[in-house]
Structure formats: structure tokens, C-alpha cells
Amino acid sequence: MTLRHDWTKPEVEALFALPLNELLFRAATVHRTHFDPSEVQISQLCSIKTGGCPEDCNYCSQSSKFETPVKATKLMEVEKVLADARAAKAAGASRFCMGAAWRNPKDRDMEKVTTMIREVKAMGLETCATLGMLTPAQALELAHAGLDYYNHNLDTSEEFYGEIITTRTYQDRLDTLASVRDAGMKTCCGGIMGMGESVADRASMLVTLANLPAHPESVPINLLIPADGTPLAGNPRIDGIEFVRTIAVARILMPHSFVRLSAGREGMSAELQAMCFFAGANSIFVGEKLLTAANPDVDSDKALFAKLGLKPMSIAGTESAQAA
């Protein structure tokens, strides 16, 4: 399959409108062409600095703009992060992701963060970080430390973006992604479903991702977890089939990318998760917490994998899958 970077919004809206069985067939066919459908890439997320973020993302319990139960903490000590990484590897994770609630990292924090990256990398794990906006120089510093992936989500469409965030622009996000690519790192970039966006907004966000100079190597599709104290606390949960459609369309548009069934799994049935895997999702987070949100525990995920006949993908598998 030829990778496309010229998708149009009407084309993608037409995919969303397909009968579900036809959409799932197309997505599953693409998935099987590029990946072993029985393998799922496993990541674990560690909040290395929680709360106190100056941004006003309406979904986020870590924003200092809202009264939420989350309290600000200092940057974790390196040894504590490394202990969490060892436990993640022992539990089957092949990628360890480090997240900090910053608008952008300060120069004084970079040395500690790059030390974390080097030491986690030395354990044989893939490394990922999400630290907010980056300058080109900061991106190069992270790359030199051995960072494999940098996460910086678009969250939603450019058209709907202003309804969710006002403290940084859509172009700010695109600029950070460009700095990450230019530094030679892989991008991890997706969005959040259920914030009040329309199907057209979901299509527009996926068009933006698919038409980047290089498809994000990892595309997390999150289901909003309404957080107490945030403006989106009362948002109703979106229909599960609509969520599955988003997974399927992402798979079709970005055939070589890992499509991550990300936040929101804790509230999903085994049947809904199975549909997402069939639709092309082949990456998840494990561990009981995603930054500040609940996630299925390890035993639940092991039971789900056994029921569905799925197995964790090795680091060698992730590298060979994306090199193909």
C-alpha cells in the first residue's frame, strides 16, 4: 500500500460514513498487511511531574486553572523513575513513557530528564516523553539522550481546538512536532474523543495527522475521562461504535503506525476493546494509572489478552514492524 499524505476531508468523512462491517473489513485488511494482528505493543506511562500546569486544556485535571483533586508535585528523582521502569519491563512493557505537566521544559530540568532517558534506554526499553512544547534545541538534546518517541497530541481538529484550549495555538503543536521530526525522533500524536467534537472534527484531525510530512509512528486515540473540576467534567460518554470507527479510520489512513487504544479503557467492556483491536488498534498502556486517570490493572489485561488470543509485541517486533 502506497502511503498517502494528500487525504481530503470529504474522503475521510466518507470512510466514517461506511457501513460498519465494510469499514472494519478495510481497516483489518490494512492492519494484517503491515502487522501481526495477534500482537499488541505494550507501553507504560509514568508521571514524572504531576499537576500545576499553566495551560487551560479543558479536559485536564493537572491544569492549575481549575480546582481539581490533583495537587502539584516536584519532578521525580531519577532513581524512583528507574525503579518504575524496571517494574514496567518486568510486567511486559516494551516502551516506557515519561510525562511531565509542563507548558514546556525549563533548561534547569533538562539534565535530570535526559539522565532518566539514558538510564531507561540502557535497560533495553524504548523511551518516550511528553513534556509540553519544545524548541528545536531541546528536541535535539532529547534525541542525543536517546529518546525514541516524543508525544505531543493535537487533541482535536484545528476548527474545534479553540473550544478546548486557549493558552497555546494549533500551530504551536505542529511546530513542536516539526522540531521532533527534524531532530530524528519518532512522533507520538493523536487526539481525544468525546470532548463535544463532531464527526467532521474527528475526520479533520485525522486528515491533519495523515498529511504530515511523515505519519506519526504512534497514534494514541483517547476516550475522554471526564475529570472532576474541569470544564468537561459533565460530558457524556460517546457511543462505543463511534469510537471504534475512529480507530478504524486512523488505521486506514496511517497503515504503518501503531494505533494506540489509549485513555478510557478502564471503562470499556472486553467486547468493545476486542472491536478496537479488530479495527486496527495494536498498542495499549498497561498499569493501574495513566498520569492521573485510572487504567485496567495488569491481571485484567492478561485475562483480556488470553481471552482474545493476543500477545505482547517485543521491542524487536516493534522495530521490524515499522521498518517494513
In the set 46, 97, 189, 276, the catalytic residue is 97
State how far the Cα of 12 lies from the Cα of 203, in Å rounded to an integer: 6
In the set 60, 202, 245, 265, the catalytic residue is 60
In the set 57, 173, 189, 251, the catalytic residue is 57
| Catalytic residue check, 128 | yes
| Catalytic residue check, 57 | yes
Length of the chain: 324
C-alpha distances in Å from residue 144, one per residue of 39, 119, 320: 30, 13, 22
| Catalytic residue check, 46 | no
State how far the Cα of 296 lies from the Cα of 286, in Å rounded to an integer: 7
Residue partners of 165: CB distance under 8 A and separation at least 6: 55, 56, 57, 58, 155
| Catalytic residue check, 189 | no
| Catalytic residue check, 276 | no
In the set 128, 168, 189, 251, the catalytic residue is 128
String of DSSP letters for 202-249: HHHHHHHHHTSSS--SEEEEEEP-PPTTSTTTTPPPPPHHHHHHHHHH
State how far the Cα of 276 lies from the Cα of 169, in Å rounded to an integer: 31
State how far the Cα of 313 lies from the Cα of 277, in Å rounded to an integer: 14
C-alpha distances in Å from residue 134, one per residue of 35, 77, 266: 31, 22, 31
Among 17, 291, 58, CA closest to 197: 58
In the set 46, 53, 189, 276, the catalytic residue is 53
Burial code (b: 16+ CB inside 10 Å, e: under 16) for 7-41 equals beeeebbebbebeeeebbebbbebbeebbeeebbb
Cα distance from N-terminal residue to C-terminal residue, the chain: 12
Catalytic residues: 53, 57, 60, 97, 128, 188, 260
